[in-house]
Structure 1
Amino acid sequence: MDERRASLAAAAATPMIAELVGLAATSSEADLEDELCARIGRTLTELDDAPIDDHIGPNTFAAALTDAAVQAVSTALAGAADGWTHAWRVLIATTGILNHPLGERANESIDDLRALPGAERLPQTPTGPTITGPVLWTRDAYGSRFGVAAPFRTADGPDRWYLWDIDGCGHDTFTVHSRYHTDPAEALADWQAGVGAPAADGTVFAPVDDPWLLDELMPREQGMLRPGGESVEQFAEYHRSKRLAEAVLDAIEPAHPHRTSAPSDLGRTTAAAPFAAWLQEHRPDRSRPNLEELVTELADSWHIGESGQLYRTCSPHRVALAVEHIRGYYQDDFAADLIALIPDWTEWLAERNATPAHLADRCRPYANGEPHKAVNADDRSDYLARIAE
């Protein structure tokens, strides 16, 4: 099956690389890379609809693209004296967007290429994305949505700012949108539009002050654990967003060799007791024999991700996903009892977080069980949906 998928991937990758080689003569480095990513997005979307036996994932296709680009250079080296230059530019554009471990595989292929006759004409391989300024970030009013931006050098043009729109409401942090912008103001406006005016009101970019948290947020290769359901735009940036994220984390590391993050006062094992005490004070009429069990289970189910810093956050999206998780995980009667506590739970968190009333009120419909139209897609949670809070 792997061999069949690799063959299908090669059949899609080879003509794409040939077309890009044809475009290279009239394209800047940035334009060539952008066109490569755009074509990857469209092709992966088409391949994603294939039957399971023929399903080609992003990494299988990336490997096929690398192989096709290497073959294009190899063929060109045997031809005219300078005919290899356009194929080489496409190969460098392809390998330059690949994250770990695909990038290492690509570099090994280039090493093999350099052993061929005539390969002494090939220039040095670029070292990778270069950050030219401070990494900036911002956070929405609910605390679970992040915008991260960093400037990157462009070989034949001005620096460009790459934006990651990161949502921490699901069982993990997911980059729901990413792309290049001309400057940080444009990147911020894009992020604010995706988050929605109520939650993004007053947000500004600032230098990263918690590298440890940033390390948890930035996208990484998930392999078989990726949630799936990517849009054309998300497939287009599938590899590039991760490769540039690696560059961001490498840049942050030397400046902060001893990463620390502020400890969280709430977590899956510590939230039940203070919430139970709050219920006893504010809802004494709702006591029940199994309340301790319910509170403990609710605290455990509220946020199943690994980031302790995000546990206490409470947005409409987070509430809707939590209710959906509880309904799908527990038996109906017990789930109903847990969900009945969600309105009080969200009110308690809003008090602890000092969430403004107009924002806390936006959580109430979903706490009372109203479905969130942007959360479900084909009867499953759409963790990659870009949701305006």
Structure 2
Amino acid sequence: MPSQDPLLTAVKPKSYSGAMPVSRKRKKTRKSGHKHPPQSFGSRAVPGNDLAAAFAGLSERRRRLDGRRAALAAAAAKPMVAELVGLAATRTDTELGDELCARLGRTLAELDKAPTDDHVGPNALAEAVVDAAVAAASTTLSANTENTTLDGNAESRQDAWRVLTAVAATLNGRLRERAMESIDDLRTKHGRQVLPETPAGPAVTGPVLWTRDAYGSRFGVVAPFRAGDGQDRWYLWDIDACGHEAFTVHSRYHASAGEALADWQSGVGAPAADGTAFSAVDDPALLDDILPRELGVMRPGGESVEQFAEYHRGKRLAEAVSEVLERATAPRPTPPADLDRASATVHFAAWLRRHRPDRAQPADGDEHLTELADSWHIDGPAGLYHTCSPHRVALVADHIRNYYDDDFAADLVALLPDWTAWLAEHNATPAHLADRCSPYAHGAPHKGIAADDGGLSYLCRITE
């Protein structure tokens, strides 16, 4: 996929199914072993000079690619910043931030269509936007050195400065630090009495609320942030934790928490979202675990224009929420998970003995049971091991087929109907919801998870 670095493709595990890598190597089964036998690197030493030359070649290729992509990012960022400076006089700070995000979304979606060597990711473009905004502000400041304030006849200087501060307020992590350091440098160079104080950035102005669907693995999170007109806007994160990671599949501002809830419920679907409502966060550690964070080159890829538009802002606002939770919540130990790999294996084996007495019963340590329990939960939050949704069943079935030898995979998939029935009983899932998992446990394809490249779309907003 375009979002992946070509230098990483040679070292991705075979189990890389669609977009996200898993943390284990392909297992060798008792029946037929690996589909693709691994090469043995231990049987023959690689000459030191050849190895050094290989690494030097990779390093040089990386340097050339980085330079090429930086140039492409700069070429896209400069006109974007110029447009925003031209709009600034007729936009409030809030509107200017929205305009920035909209342009980031459209530009990133266009860049994402480029060949792999020309791929410019969200962070590379953001760095270029920071540099372009700093250059615009520096140019207008230098051209108006006779002015002593940012008002009066210094409109162009004020507009460029507001664009730069909008960029700083939108970006997260090291990207925000890069922008803030540049702002501080400009204030030092041109006089701190000339330029406003360094912007504080977005702050949560009210309660952080959340809800989750009937399957327990889809979350809606909202928090209010003060807009430029003094009104609060509520930012929604629609977080899907059905896969190997928790991914924010949709996010945006809303005028009220009620409007945000309706948006989230529409995305989840009536069966799974029926009766849901926002409430106070009762598990801050879990919320902190599922909020979006920067994944760098390991991001799943396949973002829509709307997801690209909120790529940075959603993470920046999540940082603000995490800070609030950290200040407001006394440290407390994380409760033990309801189920984990080891206990699931034991409990499922016992369930099979009770409910399938006519079948040959595997022992608790049977390889099939341990592998199924292992595949059910790879990198997601430990507290969500027990959850079971149609989306999750479909993802696990696809992972099993791509991860194991065909005959061993077929044995594991054959266990999925019983596995989902056991989890439905364990979770007290209503029958009408549990039944929606059954087709995917029996092997039906899930049209919502298929990506254009034949892999999986982890960022698709699935309506259960």
TM-score (norm 2): 0.82
Q: Matches of 1:32 and 1:302 in 2, distance apart? A: 44
From the CA coordinates, give the structure whose radius of gyration is larger: 2
Q: CA deviation at 1:375?
A: 0.9
Aligned to 2:418: 344
Q: CA deviation at 1:118?
A: 5.5
Given that residues 264 and 309 in structure 1 are in contact (C-alpha distance below 8 angstroms), is that contact kept between their aligned partners in structure 2?
A: yes
Relative CO higher for 1 or 2, CA cutoff 8 Å, sep ≥ 6?
Answer: 2
> How many residues of Structure 1 are paired with residues of Structure 2 in the alignment?
389
Q: Matches of 1:115 and 1:62 in 2, distance apart? A: 24
Q: Matches of 2:301 and 2:97 in 1, distance apart? A: 24
Aligned to 1:33: 97
SS of equivalent residue, structure 1 residue 295: helix
1:9 to 73, 79, 87: 73
Aligned to 1:312: 386
Q: CA deviation at 1:30?
A: 1.2
Q: Matches of 1:144 and 1:383 in 2, distance apart? A: 14
2:127 to 54, 60, 63: 63
SS of equivalent residue, structure 2 residue 447: coil
Aligned to 2:113: 49
Aligned to 1:222: 295
Q: Which residue identity lines up with residue 381 of structure 1 in the other structure?
A: L
1:376 to 424, 428, 450: 450
Q: CA deviation at 1:248?
A: 0.1
Q: Once structures 1 and 2 are overlaid, which stretch shifts more, 94-103 or 315-324?
A: 94-103
Structure 1's unaligned 5+ residue stretches are none
Given that residues 211 and 259 in structure 1 are in contact (C-alpha distance below 8 angstroms), is that contact kept between their aligned partners in structure 2?
A: no
Q: Matches of 2:68 and 2:188 in 1, distance apart? A: 29
Q: Matches of 1:209 and 1:259 in 2, distance apart? A: 12
CA shift digits 1:224-262 (9 cap, x unpaired): 110000000000000000000000000011111304333
Given that residues 32 and 93 in structure 1 are in contact (C-alpha distance below 8 angstroms), is that contact kept between their aligned partners in structure 2?
A: yes
Q: Which residue identity lines up with residue 27 of structure 1 in the other structure?
A: R
Q: Which residue identity lines up with residue 387 of structure 1 in the other structure?
A: I
Q: Once structures 1 and 2 are overlaid, which stretch shifts more, 314-323 or 98-107?
A: 98-107
Aligned to 1:77: 141
Q: CA deviation at 1:119?
A: 6.0
Given that residues 78 and 118 in structure 1 are in contact (C-alpha distance below 8 angstroms), is that contact kept between their aligned partners in structure 2?
A: no
Given that residues 275 and 345 in structure 1 are in contact (C-alpha distance below 8 angstroms), is that contact kept between their aligned partners in structure 2?
A: yes
Q: Which residue identity lines up with residue 321 of structure 1 in the other structure?
A: L
Q: Matches of 2:271 and 2:363 in 1, distance apart? A: 38
1:297 to 371, 376, 387: 371
Q: Say whether residues 1:242 and 2:315 are aligned partners.
A: yes
Q: Say whether residues 1:332 and 2:332 are aligned partners.
A: no
Q: CA deviation at 1:76?
A: 0.7
CA shift digits 1:244-295 (9 cap, x unpaired): 0000000011111304333212112221011000001101222156882211
Aligned to 1:141: 214
Given that residues 343 and 368 in structure 1 are in contact (C-alpha distance below 8 angstroms), is that contact kept between their aligned partners in structure 2?
A: yes
Q: Matches of 2:166 and 2:200 in 1, distance apart? A: 12
Aligned to 2:237: 164
2:203 to 120, 125, 130: 130
Q: Matches of 1:60 and 1:223 in 2, distance apart? A: 10
Q: Which residue identity lines up with residue 380 of structure 1 in the other structure?
A: G
Q: How does 1:148-159 map to 2 (within 5 A)?
A: 148-159=221-232
Aligned to 1:256: 329
1:95 to 142, 150, 168: 168
Q: Say whether residues 1:358 and 2:432 are aligned partners.
A: yes
Aligned to 1:113: 186
Given that residues 319 and 366 in structure 1 are in contact (C-alpha distance below 8 angstroms), is that contact kept between their aligned partners in structure 2?
A: yes
CA shift digits 1:160-205 (9 cap, x unpaired): 0000000001110000000000000000000000000000000000
Aligned to 2:45: none
Q: Which residue identity lines up with residue 299 of structure 1 in the other structure?
A: A
Given that residues 29 and 156 in structure 1 are in contact (C-alpha distance below 8 angstroms), is that contact kept between their aligned partners in structure 2?
A: no
Given that residues 210 and 221 in structure 2 are in contact (C-alpha distance below 8 angstroms), is that contact kept between their aligned partners in structure 1?
A: yes
1:205 to 261, 278, 282: 278
Q: Which residue identity lines up with residue 229 of structure 2 in the other structure?
A: D
Q: CA deviation at 1:116?
A: 2.6
Sequence identity percentage: 67
Q: Matches of 1:265 and 1:118 in 2, distance apart? A: 58
Given that residues 246 and 380 in structure 2 are in contact (C-alpha distance below 8 angstroms), is that contact kept between their aligned partners in structure 1?
A: no
Q: Matches of 2:123 and 2:388 in 1, distance apart? A: 34
Q: Matches of 2:420 and 2:380 in 1, distance apart? A: 20
Q: CA RMSD in A?
A: 1.3
Q: Which residue identity lines up with residue 437 of structure 2 in the other structure?
A: C
Given that residues 77 and 118 in structure 1 are in contact (C-alpha distance below 8 angstroms), is that contact kept between their aligned partners in structure 2?
A: no
Structure 1 residues 345 and 289: alpha-carbon distance in aligned structure 2, compared to 1, 3 A threshold: closer
CA shift digits 1:18-53 (9 cap, x unpaired): 110111101111111111101100000011111122
Q: Which residue identity lines up with residue 403 of structure 2 in the other structure?
A: Y
SS of equivalent residue, structure 2 residue 233: strand
SS of equivalent residue, structure 1 residue 371: coil
Given that residues 9 and 61 in structure 1 are in contact (C-alpha distance below 8 angstroms), is that contact kept between their aligned partners in structure 2?
A: yes
Q: How does 1:166-185 map to 2 (within 5 A)?
A: 166-185=239-258
Structure 2's unaligned 5+ residue stretches are 1-64, 148-153
Q: Which residue identity lines up with residue 191 of structure 1 in the other structure?
A: W
